[in-house]
Amino acid sequence: MSPNTYPSVNAERLWQRHMDMAKIGGTPGGGVHRLALTSEDIEAHVLLVQWAEARGFSVALDPMGNMFLRREGSDPSLPPVSSGSHTDTQPNGGRFDGITGVLTAFEALETINEAGIETRYPLEVAIWNNEEGARFTPACMGSAAYVGFTDLDDMLSRKDQQDTTMGTCVEELAKALPQAQPRDLGTPIAFFIESHIEQGVKLETSGNVIGAVTGMQGYRRFEIEVIGEDAHSGTTPRSRRKDAFVAATDMTRAMREVLWDDEDEMRYTIGRFDVLPGGVSVVPGQVNFYVDLRYHDKATLDRLADEIPEICKSHADPCEMRIVDTPSVDPMVFPEDVVTSIEAAAERHGYGHERMYSYAGHDARHVARICPAGMVFIPCWKGISHNEAERAEPEHVAAAAQVISDILIDRAAA
Amino acid sequence: MSPNTYPSVNAERLWQRHMDMAKIGGTPGGGVHRLALTSEDIEAHVLLVQWAEARGFSVALDPMGNMFLRREGSDPSLPPVSSGSHTDTQPNGGRFDGITGVLTAFEALETINEAGIETRYPLEVAIWNNEEGARFTPACMGSAAYVGFTDLDDMLSRKDQQDTTMGTCVEELAKALPQAQPRDLGTPIAFFIESHIEQGVKLETSGNVIGAVTGMQGYRRFEIEVIGEDAHSGTTPRSRRKDAFVAATDMTRAMREVLWDDEDEMRYTIGRFDVLPGGVSVVPGQVNFYVDLRYHDKATLDRLADEIPEICKSHADPCEMRIVDTPSVDPMVFPEDVVTSIEAAAERHGYGHERMYSYAGHDARHVARICPAGMVFIPCWKGISHNEAERAEPEHVAAAAQVISDILIDRAAA
């Protein structure tokens, strides 16, 4: 296919689809609150399927709740060339994180379909379940289970704060989509590309529109339970308390001493910290909290993360503690030919581009374990993400869809 | 009435009533989870009314949700001689805190009734609403509003974490008790005495059964909101974060430096600390927490509490903060003649007794603003309270009821 015959995406339609999606779980503050497989998230899946069926695309669901919208190719024996991301958001998250990757992929399929292009490989939009990890841990659950990085039964047994299991939620999703065909986990994928807002300020600062992502930070995660003893705040002297709040905050502070680097490259976050039972006048007998640690260099990441259990233990007294070192993810790099294909597509359409690193984890990280994969970043206002104020520009979203469309055409024709 | 004619309470009946009450909101761990005016707490009120009606006692409700069970006296012009406490518990609280004061009062009225004793003053059991302050703040809400210490409309507008108002809950209670007569807030009370588990280890250590309470710690409470900015934990460097968790924990630690005294007399507690939005991979944009500070000496309490806003402000950067200094309560003393009447009743029945101080706040503190009042403590296993493991012995509960019964007879006959 010659450069000038790549069909143009429909920027207006793509933006409208973003606005339609933002209504599902939309917040008064202009964001989206659509936790994984809540009724809102299931509604988002159903809407995507309605759009897909209007195009004659088929739908499949795997046992982990990942969804696939498919446009057939000419050779039914070939695995799909795929793009996508996720529909779930953080609590009071934004209108672009995840859904932009899904909608740009869908726009690419619609564009290719309207242009009447026959591909050899089937094309798919993948919607990975529970990328955010906000309702159920761990994050990127759907893509990780798909590629065999985590165990399906373990993931389906995970519970949210209301003790609902992921398994129950996946059943709800399946019930809402009776037309979906079953798909086995690990079913081969020929190629995967994901577009996403940058969630940083590099593109905004440089003025470039397309980031060709070269690799991704690794992370380590710990779940820590500090177990003390509930006690009356008025009657119990300090010497008789087993105050889980005091012990847990001492732990988080001690970790800070070790993890806060002068270069400001290490990402150390306590985002969830549950103090129980939570009465104003009760010395808290338990704190459950999570450590999220990210870095680009595996050796340093592991060296520091391996210190965390000992740091926490040394501040537990007089409480007890349990620490779970949850599955870690190593820093990774995307194949060079995928990065260059992104640059070529950007160049073709006159989009300013640069190579960059991803500080966030994304589903593409896991999918890259089973096929060539890559990521396309677009600018994001002030780098703000996981926040109602998250914002991307219509022309940047369209640029991502254009790059994805071009690349899918090339990969699926080959 | 001569010492040997005070009727004996029925220890077995009293214990059985405790066990019946413990079923309402009973937890698998052997405690009670019965937050103020939840369906469980309303059920506890209804059960008390059933018991009262079986005795021919009447029931009244005031606009704050306080309930009064009444045995009439011979002079209808006189205000009631009263005893009681509360039915609500802390989250996963115990089987004695509060309810023992209600049931010993009820046992006293039953005992006096069975003995056919006519009193001049009416006798009442008072059930003060929302003593714990666990579902709605502030604590001791019912008794405080009754005596005019806090404003009724303000209290009724308070919301729980599901945004249900106290006003709605009081309406639910009234609906469940259509037979209740209306009672105005501030309706005079002639005398009030409250029994309670000690929630400390003084009696357990000395082997005494009855504590004649001389006074009560004062407290200061602060509600603090730390407002930062939600951000992605992987992409946002430390220098760009407004991490409310970091700021809030720095505040709690800095307060500790000032408030932790060598004598271990100051009670400084962070029991509720809500980290929002609460995603593992979201830099938290908000923390709401409460400081509970208690001490026996008003000057020292105020001097240290007055430092708290400045300490918090100095650790807020780069977040914003708001601090609310909620209504404080001064340390107080009970009238000497009430204390000696408790000692006399204990002596009469051969119960070991001692004078002691209350480190916890109780409704008697507020009621003491409008009439002579006092408190009776009994031992509590290991001092453990606000905990499922809370335990009191049947013979100690009975001793409290006996002292209350004796004192009500004396005060109501006078």
| B191-197/B81-85 β-pairing | parallel
| B67-71/B58-61 β-pairing | antiparallel
Contact check, Cβ <8 Å, B134/A272: no
* Per-position pLDDT tens, chain A of length 414: 444 589 999 999 999 999 999 999 999 999 999 999 999 999 999 999 999 999 999 999 999 999 999 999 999 999 999 999 999 999 999 999 999 999 999 999 999 999 999 999 999 999 999 999 999 988 999 999 999 999 999 999 999 999 999 999 999 999 999 999 999 999 999 999 999 999 989 999 999 999 999 999 999 999 999 999 998 898 899 999 999 999 999 999 999 999 999 999 999 999 999 999 998 989 999 999 999 999 989 999 999 999 999 999 999 999 999 999 987 889 999 999 999 999 999 999 999 999 999 988 899 999 999 999 999 999 999 988 888 999 999 999 999 999 999 999 999 996
Closest CA to B412 of B165, B95, B104, B121: B121
- What CATH number corresponds to the domain at position A244? 3.30.70.360
| pLDDT for position B33 | 97
CB burial string B275-314: b at 16+ within 10 A, e below: bbbbbbbbbbbbbbbbbbbbbbeeeebeebbeebeebbee
Q: Are residues A272 and A140 in the same domain?
A: no
Q: Are residues B258 and B314 in the same domain?
A: yes
Give bridge partners of residue B32 from the DSSP assignment: B26, B93
Contact check, Cβ <8 Å, A235/B199: yes
**Each residue's pLDDT tens digit, B274-332:** 999 999 989 999 999 999 999 989 999 999 999 999 999 999 999 999 999 987 889 99
The nearest alpha carbon in chain B to A229 belongs to B387
Helix (H, G, I), strand (E, B) or coil at A213: strand
Contact check, Cβ <8 Å, A280/B290: yes
Closest CA to A39 of A88, A102, A84, A92: A88
Give contacts of B384 with chain A, Cβ < 8 Å.
Answer: 229, 231
Q: How far is B266 from chain A (nearest CA, A)?
A: 8
**Each residue's pLDDT tens digit, A258-293:** 999 999 999 999 999 999 999 898 999 999 999 999
Contact check, Cβ <8 Å, B237/A264: yes
A90, A260, A283: residue with CB nearest B279? A90
- Supply the range of the domain harboring residue B212: 3-217+331-413
Q: Are residues A315 and A356 in the same domain?
A: no
Select from B282, B292, B381, B388 the residue whose CB has the most chain A CBs within 10 Å, as the one to mutate to test that interface: B282
Residue A243: burial class (beta carbons within 10 Å; 0-12, 13-18, 19+): buried
| Cα A2 versus chain centre, distance | 34
| B81-85/B123-127 β-pairing | parallel
Number of structural domains in chain A: 2
Select from B233, B243, B245 the residue whose CB has the most chain A CBs within 10 Å, as the one to mutate to test that interface: B233
| pLDDT for position B4 | 57
Compute CA distances A296 → A212, A254, A273, B101, B239, whole Å. Answer: 17, 22, 25, 61, 18
Q: Collect the ranges in chain B with pLDDT lower than 70.
A: 1-4, 414
Give contacts of A256 with chain B, Cβ < 8 Å.
Answer: 246
| pLDDT for position A414 | 67
Cα separation, B378 vs B101, whole angstroms? 10
Contact check, Cβ <8 Å, B221/A90: no
Q: How far is A358 from chain B (nearest CA, A)?
A: 8
State the count of interchain CB pairs (< 8 A) between A and B: 234
The nearest alpha carbon in chain B to A140 belongs to B281
| pLDDT for position A119 | 97
Q: Pick from A312, A329, A346: which residue ends a domain? A: A329
Contact check, Cβ <8 Å, B269/A281: yes
Angular region, B63: left φ>0, alpha ψ -120 to 50, beta rest: alpha
Please list, in sequence order, all residues whose beta carbon lies within 8 angstroms of the beta carbon of residue B114, skipping any fewer than 6 positions away: B7
The nearest alpha carbon in chain A to B388 belongs to A230
Select from A34, A270, A281 the residue whose CB has the most chain B CBs within 10 Å, as the one to mutate to test that interface: A281
Q: Are residues B409 and B351 in the same domain?
A: yes
The beta strand positions in A73-209, using DSSP E, are 81-85, 123-127, 181-182, 191-197
A221, A232, A264: residue with CB nearest B238? A264
State the number of CA atoms in the 13 A half-sphere of A209 facing the CB. 20
| pLDDT for position A232 | 87
Query: B22-31: which pairs have CB atoms within 8 A and are 24 or more residues apart?
Result: B22/B95, B22/B99, B25/B89, B27/B92, B27/B388, B29/B92, B29/B388, B29/B389, B30/B95, B30/B388, B30/B389, B31/B89, B31/B92, B31/B93, B31/B94, B31/B95, B31/B387, B31/B388, B31/B389, B31/B390
Give contacts of B385 with chain A, Cβ < 8 Å.
Answer: 231-232, 235
Q: Are residues A97 and A237 in the same domain?
A: no
Q: How far is A391 from chain B (nearest CA, A)?
A: 13
Contact check, Cβ <8 Å, A281/B359: no
B270, B273, B359: residue with CB nearest A234? B359
DSSP code of A32?
B
| pLDDT for position A386 | 86
Closest CA to B73 of B125, B124, B122: B122
Asked if residue B256 lies in contact with residue B321, where contact means CB atoms within 8 angstroms, the answer is no
Q: Which amino acid is at B259?
A: L
B134, B260, B280: residue with CB nearest A238? B260
| pLDDT for position A4 | 57
B260, B269, B277: residue with CB nearest A283? B269
Q: How far is B405 from chain A (nearest CA, A)?
A: 27
Give contacts of A265 with chain B, Cβ < 8 Å.
Answer: 237
Select from A32, A136, A233, A378 the residue whose CB has the most chain B CBs within 10 Å, as the one to mutate to test that interface: A233
Q: Are residues B116 and B160 in the same domain?
A: yes
Q: Are residues B303 and B315 in the same domain?
A: yes
- What CATH number corresponds to the domain at position B171? 3.40.630.10
Contact check, Cβ <8 Å, A232/B137: no
Helix (H, G, I), strand (E, B) or coil at A68: strand
Q: How far is A326 from chain B (nearest CA, A)?
A: 12
Q: Pick from B329, B349, B366: which residue ends a domain? A: B329
Q: Are residues A142 and A251 in the same domain?
A: no
Give contacts of A229 with chain B, Cβ < 8 Å.
Answer: 384, 387
Q: Pick from B272, B299, B329: which residue ends a domain? A: B329
Q: Are residues B320 and B335 in the same domain?
A: no
Q: How far is A246 from chain B (nearest CA, A)?
A: 8
Contact check, Cβ <8 Å, A385/B91: no
CA trace torsion B204, B208, B213, B217 (10° rounding): -20
Q: Are residues B292 and B396 in the same domain?
A: no
- pTM of this prediction exceeds 0.95: no
Q: Are residues A44 and A172 in the same domain?
A: yes
Contact check, Cβ <8 Å, B245/A221: no
Q: Are residues A282 and A304 in the same domain?
A: yes
The nearest alpha carbon in chain B to A272 belongs to B278
Q: Which two tokens stand for residue B242?
A: 């407004």
